[in-house]
Structure 1
Amino acid sequence: MEPATAPQATPQPAEAPAPQEISNEAESLNLAQAELADLKAKNGQLAEQYLRAQADVQNTRRRAEEEVSKARKFAVEGFAEAMLPVIDSLEAGLGVKEATPEQIREGAEATLRQLISALERNKVVEINPQPGSKFDPHRHQAISMVPADSGQEANTIVSVLQKGYLIADRVLRPALVTVSAPK
């Protein structure tokens, strides 16, 4: 007896895709290619927008740096402009050869008023504490301490030796004062 052999499978031809399936695959491929082209176009637009934004930021930064540089360079321009009339007044006063002491004093007082006005326009104001007012270490500098009189509180201003000045609420020079000492 001969061994039984299994029947050999004969290769069957592969099923050809139906025309409907080919059409769907082609349609899907076309849609994917169209979507890819759309995404590439959007990517290009976004890249261009990004580059423009970067250029705008760099231009803004450069302009800001130029403005800061100019502000530093010409910061004293307004102050110098305010001082020019004071210089003119002093020169005019010195130009008078035979002025009386009263005229010299009057001219000096007028020039001082001009100078104070120019300083105030540039936010420079004086610190001139009154005797008896409270000592403020942020605005005053105690030069000496004297024993307090009867009825006088400790750490109050007894006398002002030199006025101080503020510039825009910042101490330019503290007022020099004598302060009463605690008992």
Structure 2
Amino acid sequence: MSEDIKKEEVTEEVEATEAAETVEEVVSETPEKSELELANERADDFENKYLRAHAEMQNIQRRANEERQQLQRYRSQDLAKAILPGLDNLERALAVEGLTDDVKKGLEMTHDSLIQALKEEGVEEVEVENFDHNFHMAVQTLPADDEHPADSIAQVFQKGYKLHERLLRPAMVVVYN
């Protein structure tokens, strides 16, 4: 039995030696430096591809997060736009003279609750101090004078609203020009 083991060991050594000689022949036929350079180039190429893929994945994740945040931030935009005409009607109703105190109080409470709900969602009125074409729509102009400088607002026909920094509806105003 030990003879069989020795024969196997000798056979394995011979096969290993023959394999080593074959590798040496292949290496001696092709210059070693070019193989190393080729391997380094391939490694560099794979590293570049990996880094590009990794950067692209990070960009995709960043864009998805930003988009998710935008959707969350402006989720109530359509609802706010739908509520604004009703709020305008409430304000017109409050301006009517001759309302009983109970009716007026009920309208004011409804108006205040709608305004508060909109504020909680980030909706606020557009300021109407000076005319800004980004937030106001001039529907009429009046001549400017000493008391009323140019680009000041004379009258507001319809309030404007914005959700955070996004304009929902411009204010319809009369402007001194």
Q: Normalised by the shorter chain, which TM-score bucket?
A: 0.3 to 0.5
Q: Which has the larger radius of gyration?
A: 1
Q: TM-score, normalised by structure 1?
A: 0.46
The structure whose residues are more often helix, as a share, is: 2
